[in-house]
Structure formats: structure tokens, C-alpha cells
């Protein structure tokens, strides 16, 4: 990696802590990812992205800023990338996947806050997330109560925190609220960028994001093959990089990876032997570098064949219809698309478990591991009914509740191994 | 062929050897700071052809002996079959884990629940509480059985419960009644796990805590279902591991 010290310094990063973070991240990455056997060649691109995730990509973002483009950061798949691109902005997902500076976070947040929120604060207070520091606007969306209230505390710490309200039911009034919020977001984006959302710019933006999602959907479908052509860890990584990379290059790289994987499927070759126990992971998002549970699963004689998660199919499975000619019509298509997202903040939320069943069938999975972050009330609450519904449909399910620490790795390993042993007997 | 199973638990390490489906050797040792050495001592004392490891230290043994491993949960499912019984569920309370396991009608693993991360309400909890009250483990169980009532213990966290017990004693609470309260606390927690997954049928009770007569009796009362404790409840996992070796 080139020397980015000046760039990091100008972004206001704490260089010492940042170096320490990068070194831990680098070691974890090589232990977890580079040590895997039979990896697709196409993953080399993603290895490169990860090695430059705080380097080259930030350089690109800084360059974009210098050209007058605005950097819009967010923590949620409800923030439409299409709208950001329509004002020629850069959309980035913000860091919330590592146990970093939790002591610092706990000076502002209660201890029993979920790891994802604590992580976002840990990064901010520790000044180690260059994405966050490069942002012109940070979008805080009102999803769960934890995030909602945390944004009130985050507000004074960042340059420009924009709050987007979100509905919690799937009623017509809820949909109108979402549309209204997206309309306000357009105004905000137009204000900060000095550019207008036009029918032309919005249409292009929709096409860019659709292409990106189509590539990831293609990858998801290929994973139905046995032997699995790609590990769950690598596929998760692609879904994580989705939030950080340049959209064109990302789409292109995922499609190249898919070309290679389709060949693998044709040749009946894969990363794990044919007949390896297959699981779906469903639940809370796993933001980069949260690889804890997938690593435990894939080192317990099983392969992950799908993620029903915001960093996974919940974030990517719907495309935006490209039919409209006016901004208004296209905004309707965008609202239609985002209103499908079956996040556990919605009540009731039946389509989520329905889709987990569909994934299990389509991807030939043997069982489902339901992953909740400790203190994430919406997903933990939903996990009970999801588990009983799946078990009732003959889909073995293991519920786990964990955080970013390693203290429960031993107990988790035992439970995951036992679950895999249960699946093998079938 | 002699099939051995070794169960490396947090408090004890257990070894069992089976030949022609019969238990021909079993031995236990208190786990030390060097579980591998303790495991080696145990293995040196026995004769066997193949060995399978289970327990939280299974991967440690695997990396040294390159032997197969199975999780404790599967080991208990297999081990329970060794003892004639018709239980539909297994409760294992060991040194740092509590597991409730539901079996299908053929005796296969169907569903399980396990404590998440800390040792609340496990064998270690009982040990610490016995020490706080100045009892040996045997005295502890006997004292709890002799009490006519139980003092309510609110905390299941070993650290919090210890300070709760200390303050109860300083307020003049009866030692035996506190002992019974501690036993009741561990039973209601385990019963909660069991009720969640296994609504009926006999309970196969294993692990070191099954040696405690008071826990056994209170469990039977709380669940109102028959509780079966095998002759040596600590060896069940090791037997299960040995059986796994003989199956493969």
C-alpha cells in the first residue's frame, strides 16, 4: 500500500490508533480469507479492495470531493443510493463492524447497546473511519430505537447529520411517509450539492444501482450449486464491499467473478466437497469486518450458501423498476422498491420468514442459523416466531445471539458444531 | 477393537473405553491449567485402539492427536443411549455449561438449548456458593435437603449471587435455607431451558451436577416428570464419544 499518511492526517484521523486498527484488520483478513482453499481467482480483486479499503478508495473519494462531488454516508439500506448518485454524489456505507474503542463509546452510550451502534461511535470517537471523516453529510435513519436515540447523541459529533424518518408498518400511510421522506432527502441532496435531480440523472442513477444489484443477485443464484463454488465468507465479503466501492468497478468485478463461478459449476468444482452441509444465515447485518460467525460456521464442516440480511439479500434482492419518464414517476418506483425491505423494525413482518423459506428451498440449504446481535430488540424478538415457523416447515433452525467480542466463541463453536451434526443426520 | 472417548470439560476430564459394546474402563481427573497434560495422563492409563474427543477442549486434543471430534451435545445424545432408559430429553449441567437436549422418537438429536456465554447456574456456580457457605459439595446438598424452606436467591450470576449470599448470611438467614435457595435457583433456570424445548417425557440428567441429590429431587418436583440419573452421570459424554468412534 502506498503512503497515505498525509491524506489520513488531513482527514483528521488519529494516526496511531488508525495504524493499530489497520494492522489488526490486515492480520485478521489474511488469517480468515487468504488461508481459505480453492478460492476463485476473481476474489483477488476483493482482496485488493480490502488491502486498500482505507487507502486507494479513500483517495478516490477525496479526489471526488475536490471535483465538487458530495460524499453521503449512511448506516442503513433504506437510504437510496439512487438519489445520491442522481446529484452526482458518492454513497458510502459507514464503519460499524468492529469492536473498536467500546470504552469510548460507553462514555456516551449505555453498556447494553448493540455492537453495531457502539462500533459506529467507537470509530467516530477514536477518529479511525476515513469514510466517516470524509463525509459531507451523514444520514441517520430512524429504524430501531437504539439507532434513533443514538443519532441524537451522534448529531453534535459530525459535520452534518441528516435524520431520515422511516415507517414501521406496511400500510398506505406508511408508504406515503416514506415517499415524503425521500422527497425531503432529495431537497437536502440538492441543497448540499447545488445540483438538481433530473429525470435524466435519476434514470442513469437507477440503472447504475440496478446493475450493481443484478450482479450481486447473479452471485446469490450461483450459490445454489453443490459443490459450493464460493465460500460464504467470500460471498459475504462481496456483499460488504458493495457499500464501499465504486459502483461501476464493483459491478464489473462481481460479474467477472460470476463468469468464473459459472465455469466452476459447469466443471462441478467448488470450495468445499460436494455434499457439505449447507446453511443460510438470517438476521442482523454483518458490517465489515464482522466475520466472526461465518468463520465459526465454515470451520465447522458447513458452508454458508446465502445471507438473509441487510448485508445480503435483504439489501439487494429488489431492483427498481425503470419505466417512468419524470422524476415523480421514478421516485414512485424507488419508493415501491424500498418499501419491500422486510426489516424487523416493521410490524408485522411476515414476508421475511417467507423469504427465508424460499431461500432455503432455492439454495438447497439444510438449515438456517438465525443471527441476532445482543440487545438488537427487533431481530431478537422476531427470532422466536421465525424459528418456530421454520421448524414447523421442517427447516432445522439454530438461534444465536452474540456480539463483536470473542468471549463466547467457544460456546458458539459447540452450538454450531452440534447443529451441523444434527443437519448431517438428516 | 477398543474404542475410547475422552471428554475434556472445564472442571473434569473423563475417559471411557468400550469393547464389544461394554464399558471396560473409565477414569476421571480434575482439569488443570494444562488440560492436554491431564488428558495424556488419563490416556496413558488405558488401552485402546481408537479415540474420539469431545468437550470444550476437544480441538486441543484433535490438534495433537489428529483424532476425530464431536460436540458435547452429540456426545450426550449418543452416551445417553448406552444406559437403558426411555427419556425424551437430556439435561446436562457441567462445570461451565448447561444444555437441554430434545430427542426425536428414535433417540436422535432434535433440538437443543445452551447457556450463551457465562457459567451462571452451572456446576461452577454451585462450587463457589458451597465455598461461600463453608460446605463441602456433599454437605451442601445434604444441608439444602434438610431445610424446610428456601431463601430466594435472585441472581444467577456467580459474582452477584456470591454477594447476595454474603449479605443474606449477615442478615442472619439460616445457612441451610440459603443452601436450598441456591439449589432451587439452579433448578428453576435449568427447568426453564428444558420446558422451552422438551414439553414432556422423562429427563435423562447427566453431568457433574447430577451427582447432587438435592438438585435431582428439586428438578423432579419442579418438572413433575421422571428424572433418570445414570450410575456415573459424569462419564456420559466420554461414552458417547467412544460410541461415535465405534459407529464410524
A414 contacts B97? CB cut-off 8 A: yes
Same-domain status, B165 and B238: no
A410 contacts B73? CB cut-off 8 A: no
Sheet hosting strand B12-19, strand order edge to edge: B22-30, B12-19, B2-8, B50-54
The answer to whether B178 and B202 have CB atoms below 8 angstroms apart is no
What is the extent of the structural domain holding B187?
Answer: 86-229
Domain ranges of chain A: 5-38+48-195, 204-318+344-424
Phi, psi at A76, each rounded to 5°: -155, 150
What is the distance in angstroms between the Cα of B125 and the nearest Cα belonging to chain A? 17
A415 contacts B109? CB cut-off 8 A: no
Distance from C-alpha of A124 to C-alpha of A141, rounded to nearest angstrom: 17
Q: CA-nearest residue of chain A to B98?
A: A411
Q: What is the reported pLDDT for A18?
A: 96
Q: Is the pLDDT of residue A3 over 60?
A: yes
| N- to C-terminal Cα separation, chain B | 13
Q: What is the reported pLDDT for B41?
A: 93
Establish if A421 touches chain B: CB-CB under 8 angstroms: yes
Q: What is the reported pLDDT for A1?
A: 72
pLDDT by residue (tens digit) across B158-201?
888 899 999 999 999 999 999 999 999 999 999 999 998 988 89
For chain B, strand residue ranges (E) read: 2-8, 12-19, 22-30, 50-54, 89-93, 98-103, 109-114, 203-206, 227-228
Same-domain status, B14 and B110: no
Same-domain status, B74 and B128: no
Same-domain status, B100 and B199: yes
What is the distance in angstroms between the Cα of B32 and the nearest Cα belonging to chain A? 18
Residue A293: pLDDT band by 50, 70, 90 thresholds?
very high
When CB atoms are compared, the residue of A391, A414, A425 closest to B72 is A414
Mean pLDDT calculated for residue range A340-360: 98
A421 contacts B70? CB cut-off 8 A: yes
pLDDT by residue (tens digit) across A114-134?
999 999 999 999 999 999 999
What is the distance in angstroms between the Cα of A27 and the nearest Cα belonging to chain B? 22
Q: CA-nearest residue of chain B to A391?
A: B111
Same-domain status, B31 and B91: no
What is the distance in angstroms between the Cα of B137 and the nearest Cα belonging to chain A? 26
Determine the residue among A380, A403, A413, A414 to mutate to test chain B binding: the one whose Cβ has the most chain B Cβ atoms within 10 Å.
A414
Q: Is the pLDDT of residue A189 over 90?
A: yes
What is the CATH T-level fold of the domain A204-318+344-424, as seen in this structure? Rossmann fold (3.40.50)
Same-domain status, B200 and B143: yes
pLDDT by residue (tens digit) across A75-108?
999 999 999 999 999 999 998 999 999 999 999 9
What is the distance in angstroms between the Cα of A426 and the nearest Cα belonging to chain B? 10
Chain B residues with CB-CB distance to A410 below 8 A: 56
When CB atoms are compared, the residue of A402, A407, A418 closest to B112 is A418
Establish if A418 touches chain B: CB-CB under 8 angstroms: yes
Q: What is the reported pLDDT for A302?
A: 98
The answer to whether A241 and A46 have CB atoms below 8 angstroms apart is yes
Nearest to B88, CA basis, from B187, B228, B210: B228
A410 contacts B56? CB cut-off 8 A: yes
Q: What percent of chain A has pLDDT over 70?
A: 100
pLDDT by residue (tens digit) across A139-154?
999 999 999 999 999 9
Same-domain status, B77 and B91: no
Same-domain status, B139 and B20: no
Q: What is the reported pLDDT for B242?
A: 97
pLDDT by residue (tens digit) across A415-425?
999 999 999 86
Establish if A405 touches chain B: CB-CB under 8 angstroms: no
Q: What is the reported pLDDT for A426?
A: 55
Chain B residues with CB-CB distance to A391 below 8 A: 111
A425 contacts B108? CB cut-off 8 A: yes
When CB atoms are compared, the residue of B72, B110, B116 closest to A408 is B116
Phi, psi at A206, each rounded to 5°: -60, -40
Q: Is the pLDDT of residue A323 over 90?
A: no
**A-B C-beta contacts closer than 8 Å:** 42
Establish if A301 touches chain B: CB-CB under 8 angstroms: no
When CB atoms are compared, the residue of A391, A402, A425 closest to B109 is A425
Nearest to A374, CA basis, from B116, B192, B194: B116
Distance from C-alpha of A309 to C-alpha of A352, rounded to nearest angstrom: 10
Alpha helix segments (H runs only) across A4-144: 5-10, 15-29, 43-51, 56-66, 81-86, 102-105, 115-126, 130-134
Mean pLDDT calculated for residue range A388-409: 95
Same-domain status, B109 and B70: no
**Cis before A398? omega within 30:** no
3-state helix, strand, coil in chain B (%, to 5): 45, 20, 30
Same-domain status, B76 and B94: no
Q: What percent of chain A has pLDDT over 90?
A: 97
| N- to C-terminal Cα separation, chain A | 48
Domain count for chain B, please give it. Answer: 2
A138: DSSP letter: E
Same-domain status, B120 and B184: yes
Determine the residue among B35, B58, B110, B116 to mutate to test chain A binding: the one whose Cβ has the most chain A Cβ atoms within 10 Å.
B116
CATH of domain A5-38+48-195: 3.40.50.11890
Quick check: do A5-38+48-195 and A204-318+344-424 share a fold? yes
B109 contacts A418? CB cut-off 8 A: yes
CATH number (domain holding residue B139): 3.30.420.40
Same-domain status, B148 and B216: yes
Residues with pLDDT less than 70, chain B:
117
Q: CA-nearest residue of chain B to A388?
A: B197
Amino acid at each position: 500500500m502506498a503512503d497515505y499518511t498525509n491524506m489520513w492526517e488531513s482527514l483528521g484521523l488519529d494516526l496511531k490508533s488508525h495504524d493499530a486498527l489497520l494492522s489488526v484488520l490486515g492480520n485478521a483478513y489474511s488469517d480468515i480469507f487468504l488461508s481459505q482453499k480453492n478460492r476463485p481467482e476473481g476474489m483477488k480483486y476483493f482482496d485488493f479492495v480490502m488491502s486498500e479499503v482505507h487507502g486507494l478508495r479513500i483517495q478516490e473519494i477525496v479526489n471526488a470531493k475536490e471535483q465538487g462531488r458530495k460524499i453521503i454516508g449512511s448506516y442503513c439500506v433504506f437510504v437510496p443510493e439512487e438519489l445520491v448518485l442522481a446529484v452526482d454524489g458518492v454513497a458510502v456505507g459507514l464503519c460499524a463492524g468492529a469492536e473498536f474503542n467500546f470504552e469510548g463509546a460507553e462514555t456516551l452510550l449505555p453498556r447494553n447497546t448493540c455492537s453495531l451502534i457502539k462500533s459506529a461511535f467507537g470509530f467516530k470517537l477514536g477518529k479511525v473511519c476515513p469514510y466517516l471523516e470524509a463525509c459531507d453529510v451523514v444520514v441517520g435513519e430512524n429504524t430501531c430505537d437504539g439507532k434513533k436515540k443514538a443519532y441524537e447523541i451522534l448529531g453534535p459529533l459530525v459535520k452534518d447529520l441528516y435524520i431520515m424518518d422511516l415507517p414501521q408498518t406496511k400500510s398506505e400511510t406508511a408508504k406515503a411517509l416514506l415517499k415524503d421522506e425521500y422527497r425531503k432527502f432529495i431537497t437536502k441532496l440538492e441543497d448540499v450539492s447545488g445540483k438538481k435531480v433530473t429525470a435524466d440523472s435519476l434514470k442513469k442513477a437507477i440503472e447504475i444501482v440496478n446493475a450493481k444489484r443484478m450482479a450481486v443477485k447473479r452471485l446469490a443464484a450461483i450459490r445454489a450449486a453443490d459443490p459450493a463454488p464460493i465460500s460464504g465468507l467470500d460471498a459475504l465479503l462481496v456483499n460488504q464491499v458493495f457499500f464501499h466501492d465504486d459502483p461501476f468497478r464493483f459491478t464489473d468485478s462481481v460479474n467477472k467473478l460470476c463468469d468464473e463461478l459459472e465455469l466452476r459449476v459447469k466443471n462441478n468444482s467448488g470450495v468445499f466437497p460436494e455434499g457439505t452441509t449447507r446453511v443460510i444465515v438470517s438476521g442482523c447485518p454483518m458490517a465489515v469486518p464482522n466475520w466472526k460467525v461465518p468463520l465459526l460456521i465454515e470451520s465447522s464442516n458447513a458452508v454458508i450458501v446465502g445471507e438473509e440480511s441487510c448485508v445480503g439479500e435483504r439489501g439487494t434482492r429488489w431492483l427498481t423498476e425503470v419505466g417512468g419518464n419524470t422524476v415523480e414517476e421514478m421516485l414512485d418506483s424507488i419508493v415501491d422498491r424500498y418499501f419491500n425491505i422486510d426489516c424487523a423494525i416493521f410490524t408485522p413482518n411476515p414476508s421475511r420468514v417467507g423469504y427465508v423459506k424460499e431461500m432455503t428451498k432455492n439454495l438447497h440449504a439444510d438449515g438456517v442459523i438465525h443471527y441476532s446481535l445482543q440487545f438488537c430488540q427487533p431481530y431478537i424478538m422476531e427470532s422466536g416466531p421465525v424459528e418456530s415457523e421454520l421448524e414447523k416447515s421442517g427447516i432445522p433452525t439454530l438461534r444465536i445471539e452474540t456480539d463483536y467480542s470473542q468471549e463466547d466463541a467457544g460456546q458458539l463453536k459447540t452450538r454450531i458444531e452440534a447443529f451441523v451434526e444434527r443437519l448431517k443426520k438428516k | 477393537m477398543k474404542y475410547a472417548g475422552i471428554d475434556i470439560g472445564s472442571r473434569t476430564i473423563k475417559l471411557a473405553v468400550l469393547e464389544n459394546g461394554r464399558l471396560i474402563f473409565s477414569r476421571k481427573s480434575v482439569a488443570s491449567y494444562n488440560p492436554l497434560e491431564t488428558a495424556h495422563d488419563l490416556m496413558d492409563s488405558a488401552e485402546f485402539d481408537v479415540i474420539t474427543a469431545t468437550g470444550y477442549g476437544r480441538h486441543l486434543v484433535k490438534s495433537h492427536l489428529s483424532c476425530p471430534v464431536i460436540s458435547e451435545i452429540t456426545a450426550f445424545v449418543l452416551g445417553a443411549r448406552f444406559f437403558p432408559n426411555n427419556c425424551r430429553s437430556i439435561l446436562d449441567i457441567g462445570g461451565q455449561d448447561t444444555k437441554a437436549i430434545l430427542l426425536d422418537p428414535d433417540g436422535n438429536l432434535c433440538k437443543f438449548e445452551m447457556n450463551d456465554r457465562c457459567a451462571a447456574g452451572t456446576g461452577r456456580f454451585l462450587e463457589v456458593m458451597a465455598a461461600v457457605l463453608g460446605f463441602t459439595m456433599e454437605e451442601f446438598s445434604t444441608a439444602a435437603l434438610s431445610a424446610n424452606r428456601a431463601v430466594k436467591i435472585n441472581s444467577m450470576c456467580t459474582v452477584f449471587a456470591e454477594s447476595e449470599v454474603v449479605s443474606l448470611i449477615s442478615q442472619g438467614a439460616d445457612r441451610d435455607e440459603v443452601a436450598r435457595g441456591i439449589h432451587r435457583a439452579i433448578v428453576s433456570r435449568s427447568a426453564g431451558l428444558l420446558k422451552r424445548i422438551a414439553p414432556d417425557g422423562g429427563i435423562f440428567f447427566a453431568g457433574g451436577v447430577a451427582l447432587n441429590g438435592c438438585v435431582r429431587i428439586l428438578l423432579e418436583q419442579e418438572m413433575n416428570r421422571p428424572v433418570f440419573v445414570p450410575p456415573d452421570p459424569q462419564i456420559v459424554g466420554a461414552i458417547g464419544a467412544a460410541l461415535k468412534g465405534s459407529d464410524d
